[in-house]
A and B are shown apart, each in its own frame.
Chain A
Amino acid sequence: MRQMVAFTLKGAGYNVVEAVDGADALNKAKAQAFDCVVTDVNMPNKDGIELIRDLRALPNYKFTPMLMLTTEAGTDKKQQGKDAGATGWIVKPFNPDQLLKTIKKVMG
C-alpha cells in the first residue's frame, strides 16, 4: 500500500518521504517540514490516529493537511481521526487517480 501511494505521488511530481511506521513518521516529520501527510490508520509502533494527534500538537503542523487511509467500514476510525485533527480521509480501495485528486484538493 505504501509503495503504491509513494509510487503514484512520485509519478505526479511530488517529493515523497516514506516512513515504515508511526514512530518513524513522527521522527521524520520533526526533522523536516512537510506540506502534506498521508498515513494509513493501521500501523505498528503508533497508529495513524495517534500520529496525527502528535503531529497536530507540533507548531509546524498546526495547519498542515493530514489525510488518513481508511476502509469504508471504519466510520469510527474516521471520527477518531477527525477528533485527532485529521483533515480528511481517503477510502480504501482507491485508484491512483482518486489519490491524486484528493491530494490536489488539499495542496495549495
Chain B
Amino acid sequence: MSIDMAQFHQVFFEESFEGLDAMESGLLNLDLGDVNVEDINTIFRAAHSIKGGSGTFGFTAVSDFTHVMETLLDEMRDGRRKITQPAVDVLLGSVDCLRDMLQSIQNGSEVDQSDVAEHKLALDNELNNAVSSSSAGKPSPEALASNSATALPADEAKQIAGWVIAFSPHLHLLKTGNEPVRMFRELASLGHLTTTVDLQGVPDLYDLDPEECHLSWKLSVLGDIPETEVDEIFDWVEDDCDLAKQPIYQTPTEAPPLHSAPDVAINPVANRVTEDVSPELTRAEESESNSLERKSGKKEDAKAAPKGSSSIRVDTSKIDTLINMVGELVITQSMLSLLGEHFELNKLDQLKNGLSQLERHTRELQESVMNIRMLPISFVFSRFPRLAHDISSKLGKKIELKLVGENTEVDKTVVELLSDPLVHLVRNSLDHGIEMPDVRLAAGKPETGTVTLEAYHRGGNIVIEVADDGKGLDKDKLRAKAIEKGLIDADAILSDKQTYELIFMPGFSTAEKLTDISGRGVGMDVVRRNIQALGGNIEILSELGKGSTISIHLPLTLAILDGQSIAVGDETYILPLGSIIESLHVKEDRLNRVAGKGETFLLRGQYLPIIRMHQIFNVLTAKTTKLTEGLIVVVEGQGLRCGLFVDDLLGQQQVVIKSLEANYRRIEGVSGATILGDGSVALILDIPGLVRLANQ
C-alpha cells in the first residue's frame, strides 16, 4: 500500500516556482537602508518550504542547496548579519540556480552540477564572510546543525496508513438524528475499521436516560484515506462531540525515481538532515568536470521544452460559478428527462421551456469554462521587475518600471506565448530607449527613466503597451539604415508609420554596437511574427526625444473565433470575421486577366488579385466558375488585400477552433477546423496563408 508520490510532484514544482517568484520579488523589494523583518521572513519562509518539500520528495540536491540559502537568510532575519547588496545579488543568483535545478528535475534532465556548485560556493563565501568579519553573534556549527534538524518537517516524508480517532459524542447527539453506528458504517467503507467502546461514562440504570448517548469510542481505520474523507463523516457532528484524530504513518518510502542526476546520492531523509554541507559540495565539484561538456546544449533544450502535463491555477470563485452552472444544468436535465418519460403533446410548451433553459445553461457553462482558461497578465508581468533591476544595474541606468493593469485577464495560451516577445520589447526599451542619467539630465528630463507596461481591454481585444520616456525612434536614422541595408529604395516615400514599421523587417538593427542585452537584429521581426501567430498585431508610436510606445493588440481568446461561413459548392469554410472588409458582385468590365499572374479586379481605383476558392480547394461542385455570377469577398491579412471568389455567404457564428496540426498536420491557408451545428466539419481559413498559396 504505497501512495504514488509522483502525483504530488506537479504540485510541489508549482508551489516551488511560486515560492521562488515570491523570494525574487521579496529580494528585489528589499530596501537595504531600512530592512523590514517581515520582508526577510517572507523570503525565508519561501526558502524553507521549498527545502521541506524537496526533502520530502527526495530531491536532496535541491534541499541541500536551499539549506545554505536558508542559513544565510536566517542570520539576516535574526539581525546577526547585515544585509548588503552583494549578499542580495548572491541570493538572487541562487534563486535562478534553484529554478534551473527544479526545471531540470521536472523535465527529467540533468541538473547542471557546475552551476549549482558555483552558486553554492558563492553562498558559502557570503556565509563565511560575515562569520569572520562580524565579531558579535557568531553562529556555531552546532547551531546550524540543530537548526536544520528541526527545520525539516519529518511527518511529510511518511505516508498515511490510517487514522486513530477518539470519538466522544455529547449527550444530545442522538437527538440530532445522527446515529454513531451509521457513521461507523461509513468509516468501515473507507478501510478496515476496529472499534473499541468506552463504557465508563454510562451511569447507573436508575440515572440512565436512554435518549442520551453515554458511550465513547476509540476507532482505528486502516487504509490510505485522505483526511477530508474522515472529516466528511464527522462533518455534521463537529459541534456535538469531542473528536480527536491522528494519522498513522508508514515507514518512509523510498525516494521517487524522478531524480536523474546520477552523482547525487539520494539519502533517506533521516540521514540527510544531519549531513554536513561540505561533502555535498565536494561531490558536486567532482562531478563538475564531467558535466561541463554536457552543460551548454542540454540546459537550453531542457528549458525550451518543459515536459509533463500543464496545469493551471484558477480562482476558486470561478470554480464555484462553474459548479453552480453545472448544478443548474443537472436540474434542467433531470426535469427534461422526467418530461420525456411520460410525454404528451400538451406538454409541448413545457418541453420548449426546458429546452430554452438548457440552451441558456449550456451557453453560460461555456462562458464560465472559457473563463477558467483566463489568467491575469501578472503571470507575465511579474518577471519584469527583476529584468529591469538586472539590466539597469548592468548598464548603470536609472530606471523605474511601472506595471499597470496586471489583473487584466488573458487566455492561458496567450500568456505563455506572449512572454518571450514582451521580454524582447522591454529589453529594447531598457537598453535602447532609456538614455544614460547624464544624457537625460542634459535633455531636461528626470534622471530616472520610466518604462511602463500596461494591459487593458478594448473592444474584443486585449491591448498591451510597452512605453518608455526615452529617446524615441529617429526617423532619419531608421531610413538611412534601411537604405544602407537595401531594405528600401533610396527614393522610397514612407509615411511615419511605415518608417517605424521598418524595425520589424528581418535583419534590421539600429544599435551601433551590439550588446549582450539586446540588438542582434533578429529581434523585432521575430516578435512581430510571434504576435501575428497569436492572431494579433503590433504597432509603434514614437516621438524623437520623448519616447516610444509599442502596443500589441491580441484577441481575447484563441479558442473561439467570430467567423463568417461561406459556401463553395457543397463545402463550407469559415473566414475570421475581422479579416473581411466587404463583399460584392463584380461586373465584367472591372475584371482583368494578367497573363501568367492570374486575375484581378478593380475596386475603387485599386487592382486586387482574385483567389478562386473552388480552384484552391479543388471543389468540383462549385455552383459557378464565372466570376460575375459568384460573390467576391474582399479580405485583408498582413497588409495584403485580395478578393476571394465564393458561391455564397452563409451566416455569422462563433466557432470553436480545433487544431488541425494536433489531429492531422499543418496545411497552408488553413488555420484550423471547426464542427458546425449540423455535425459537419468546416475548415477555418488563414488569409495570409491563402494569399501565399495563391501566389505560388
- A residues contacting B by CB (< 8 A) are 1, 3-4, 7-8, 56, 62-66, 72, 82, 85-89, 92-96, 105-106, 108
Contact = CB atoms under 8 A, between A and B. Distances in A.
In the A-B complex, list the 5 residue pairs whose CB atoms are closest, starting with the nearest.
A93-B327, A87-B177, A88-B236, A65-B177, A4-B334
A106 B233 CA distance: 11
Given A63-B175, A106-B182, 10 more contacts: A3-B338, A4-B330, A4-B335, A62-B175, A63-B211, A65-B177, A65-B179, A87-B177, A88-B236, A105-B186
B338 A7 contact: yes
Nearest to A82: B239
Nearest to A37: B177
Given A85-B176, A85-B177, A93-B323, A4 B331 contact: yes
Contacts of B177: 63-66, 85-88, 106
B324 to A, nearest CB: 6
Contact of A7 (B175, B235, B334): B334
A82 B177 CA distance: 10
A106 B177 CA distance: 8
Interface of B: 174-179, 182, 186, 211, 235-236, 239-240, 320, 323-324, 326-328, 330-331, 334-335, 338
B278 to A, nearest CB: 54
Contacts of B240: 82
Nearest to B185: A105
Contacts of B179: 63, 65, 106, 108
A72 B324 CA distance: 10
Given A88-B236, A93-B326, A1 B178 contact: no
Nearest to B181: A108
A3 B338 CA distance: 9
Contact of B178 (A3, A62, A87, A108): A87
19 contacts: A1-B331, A4-B335, A63-B177, A63-B179, A65-B179, A66-B177, A82-B176, A86-B176, A88-B236, A93-B326, A93-B330, A93-B331, A95-B327, A96-B330, A105-B182, A105-B186, A106-B178, A106-B179, A108-B179
Contacts of B320: 72
B334 A8 contact: yes
B176 to A, nearest CB: 5
A84 to B, nearest CB: 10
Contacts of A7: 334, 338
Contacts of B326: 93
Contacts of B331: 1, 4, 93
Interface centre among B211, B240, B330 (most CB of A within 10 A): B330
Nearest to A84: B176
A31 B325 CA distance: 38
Contacts of B328: 93
Contacts of A87: 176-178, 236
Contacts of B334: 3-4, 7-8, 96
Interface centre among A8, A63, A92 (most CB of B within 10 A): A63
A82 to B, nearest CB: 7
Contacts of A82: 176, 236, 239-240
Contact of B335 (A3, A72, A86, A92): A3
A87 B335 CA distance: 28
A108 B183 CA distance: 11
Contacts of A95: 327, 330
A63 B174 contact: yes
Given A3-B335, A3-B338, A92 B175 contact: no
Nearest to A62: B175
B84 to A, nearest CB: 50
A47 to B, nearest CB: 18
A64 to B, nearest CB: 6
A56 B176 CA distance: 8
Nearest to B174: A63
A76 B334 CA distance: 30
Contacts of B186: 105
Nearest to A73: B320
A96 B330 CA distance: 9
Contact of A92 (B174, B235, B239, B327): B327
A105 B320 CA distance: 25
B186 to A, nearest CB: 6
A3 B331 CA distance: 9
B235 A88 contact: yes
Contacts of A94: 327
Contacts of A1: 331
A1 B328 CA distance: 10
Interface centre among B326, B334, B335, B338 (most CB of A within 10 A): B334
A56 to B, nearest CB: 7
Contacts of A62: 175, 211
A34 B335 CA distance: 26
Nearest to B328: A93
A92 B335 CA distance: 16
Nearest to B183: A105
Interface centre among B182, B235, B240 (most CB of A within 10 A): B182
A105 B178 CA distance: 10
A85 B235 contact: no
A16 to B, nearest CB: 13
A21 B548 CA distance: 68
A64 B175 CA distance: 8
Interface centre among B179, B240, B324, B326 (most CB of A within 10 A): B179
Contacts of A65: 177-179
A82 B211 CA distance: 18
Contact of A85 (B175, B182, B327, B335): B175
A86 B182 CA distance: 16
A4 B178 CA distance: 25
A7 B328 CA distance: 16
A95 B324 CA distance: 11
B504 to A, nearest CB: 51
Interface centre among A1, A3, A66, A106 (most CB of B within 10 A): A106
A32 to B, nearest CB: 18
Contacts of A64: 177
A72 B323 CA distance: 11
A89 B335 contact: no
A82 B239 CA distance: 9
Nearest to B178: A87
Given A3-B338, A4-B331, A56 B236 contact: no
Contacts of B174: 63
Contacts of A8: 334
A66 to B, nearest CB: 5
Contacts of B211: 62-63
A94 B324 CA distance: 9
B236 A89 contact: yes
Contact of B182 (A56, A89, A108): A108
A82 B186 CA distance: 21
Nearest to B232: A105
Contacts of B182: 105-106, 108
